[in-house]
Amino acid sequence: MTLQEFQHGLDAIDAPRAGQGSSTRAVHGGAQRRKAFSALNTPIVQTATYTFSDTQELIDYMERKTWGDGDDREEYGRYGNPTVSAVERKLAALDGGEDAVLYASGMSAVTSLLLSVLPAGAHIVMTDDCYRRTRQFCQTFLKRLGIETSVVPMGDYAALEASIIPKKTRFIISESPTNPYLRVADLEQIAAIGKRNRVLTMIDSTFATPVNQRPLEWGIDFVVHSATKYLSGHNDLLAGVVVGRADRIQALRDARGVLGGVVDPQNAYLLDRGIKTLGVRVRQQNSSALAVAQFLESHSAIERVWYPGLASHPDHAVASAQMAGYGGVVSFEFAGGLKETSRFIDRLKIPYIAPSLGGVESLIEQPALMSYYEKTSEERLALGIKDNLVRFAIGIEDSADLLADLEQALA
Ligand SMILES: Cc1ncc(COP(=O)(O)O)c(C=O)c1O
């Protein structure tokens, strides 16, 4: 399938939902026609609890007689909030899912999903190059609950299927693109393996965003995002989301009422506001990242570039077939050791040195000195993290300025 055919396919999938593309969904998705107080924007309902005028109203509420279509439980802030619900509807529309549930962070989304669906003694399969904390949660916290995790190499679908233990494996977890090597999962294959073996599938789609890829439409069961990144887009809040089938998401929402990882209404509002510009931001980031990746690949001071939009990337073919854009993160290996690489980073004037990605500001980091600081060089190498590796999360600055900045720092 060519990229054009894929995009055409997406348009066709969008059509029955209202004929809308991802930017239209980002602006209008989840909004109700009748606005509270006729205000254009979703109000911030800053409350921890809700009142009832008398006992009869309480009983009618408990019997759901007063609930409108699609209403969620809202008698206490941990069960529901209208601002949060509006964002959940928008996120469901964006990913082409039936429903979505919002959490206090991406990690809260991942851990709540796994704690809610996995029975004691279950087994999960995870692809490597996975977000470090997700892997840590599975291999330490879940292990203590008697849940075992097998880690298989990204892109080895035979190994993935072979590691499934009949009647014990409940979940396949992958990310796409991954961090820091931007490996891209073949969603069609993962969904097929899941269905063949009756195992649920989950993709952490944080790096892709629903603008570049919508895993549910390839048959994946759950999509997770750290909404802290591209969805909110301004490096000013933490949030996470799980999107999927309505009955499964309702079960997660009920579990959230117990586990407690709710997002604050103020943050939900900021997220809603951030999502409205997702389409324009991500398309700009896609285009700058491709230009940066091509520039770096042609430069003699760079040993290797990892970007799925380059033909040299191991997953270029699958990314071209299944993604509408290659994303805004470029990883590369500087020709030099730890110190030379740091000196190059220090010469850059536009990107801030910081963890995270997906916001309007470009951020740059040397994973050896950020996420893996406490490890030795040898331990890092065993995890695939080289001293000269750099992760550049492109913001929405002008591409020409980003390229000029790289050029002066490499000169
Ligand atoms: C791919 C991925 N998933 C999940 C997370 C966790 O999200 P949060 O920081 O919002 O808890 C991150 C954070 O960096 C991430 O990069």
| Model pTM score | 0.93
Q: Check if 367 has its Cβ closer than 6 Å to any atom of ligand 1.
A: no
pLDDT above 70 for 5: no
293 alpha carbon – ligand 1 mean position (Å) = 23
Cα distances (Å, whole numbers) of residue 358 to 91, 227, 301, 363, 408: 17, 9, 26, 9, 24
- Measured from the Cα of 239, ligand 1's closest atom is 10
Q: Check if 212 has its Cβ closer than 6 Å to any atom of ligand 1.
A: no
Of residues 31 and 117, more confidence is placed in 117
Contact 142, 124 (CB under 8 A): yes
Q: Residue 71 — pLDDT band, cuts 50, 70, 90? A: confident
Q: Tokens in use for 119?
A: 């029975």
Q: Is 2 helix (H, G, I), strand (E, B) or coil?
A: coil
Protein residue whose Cα sits closest to atom 12 of ligand 1: 226
Decide the pairing of beta strands 352-353 and 363-365: parallel
DSSP string for 212-241? H--GGGGT-SEEEEETTTTTT-SSS---EE
Average pLDDT of the residues in 290-295: 98
Average pLDDT of the residues in 233-258: 97
pLDDT above 50 for 8: no
**What is the spatial distance between Cα 98 and Cα 278, in angstroms, rounded to a whole number?**
20
253 alpha carbon – ligand 1 mean position (Å) = 20
Contact 209, 230 (CB under 8 A): yes
**What is the spatial distance between Cα 402 and Cα 362, in angstroms, rounded to a whole number?**
9
Q: Residue 17 — pLDDT band, cuts 50, 70, 90? A: very low
pLDDT above 80 for 25: yes
pLDDT digits 0-9 by tens, 364-378: 999 999 988 888 888
69 alpha carbon – ligand 1 mean position (Å) = 33
Query: Which pLDDT does position 19 carry in this prediction?
Result: 59
Domain range summary for the chain, segments of one domain joined by + = 3-45+81-275, 278-410
Burial class (CB in 10 A: 0-12, 13-18, 19+), 288: buried
Q: Which residues pair with 35 in a beta bridge?
A: none
Would you please indicate which residues are annotated as catalytic (active-site) residues?
Answer: 78, 131, 204, 229
Q: Check if 29 has its Cβ closer than 6 Å to any atom of ligand 1.
A: no
Backbone angles phi, psi at 335, to 5 degrees: -80, 90
Cα distances (Å, whole numbers) of residue 262 to 30, 104, 241, 267, 366: 19, 5, 11, 11, 32
Ligand 1 pocket test target in 103, 133, 176, 204 with most atoms within 8 Å of CB: 133
pLDDT above 50 for 1: no
Query: Which pLDDT does position 215 carry in this prediction?
Result: 98
- 3-45+81-275: CATH architecture: 3-Layer(aba) Sandwich (3.40)
For 278-410, CATH gives: 3.90.1150.10
Q: Check if 206 has its Cβ closer than 6 Å to any atom of ligand 1.
A: yes
Question: In which residue are the tokens 């079960």 written?
Answer: 251
274 alpha carbon – ligand 1 mean position (Å) = 17
Q: Residue 14 — pLDDT band, cuts 50, 70, 90? A: very low
Query: Which pLDDT does position 13 carry in this prediction?
Result: 33
pLDDT digits 0-9 by tens, 156-207: 999 999 999 999 999 999 999 999 999 999 999 999 999 999 999 999 999 9
pLDDT digits 0-9 by tens, 302-325: 999 999 999 999 999 999 999 999
Q: Is the peptide bond before 314 cis (omega within 30 degrees of 0)?
A: no
- Measured from the Cα of 229, ligand 1's closest atom is 10
Dihedral (Cα; 272, 275, 276, 278), 10-degree rounding: 180
Tell me the torsion sign for CA atoms 145, 127, 173, 209: positive
Backbone angles phi, psi at 363, to 5 degrees: -125, 140
pLDDT above 90 for 103: yes
Segment (H or E) for 311: none
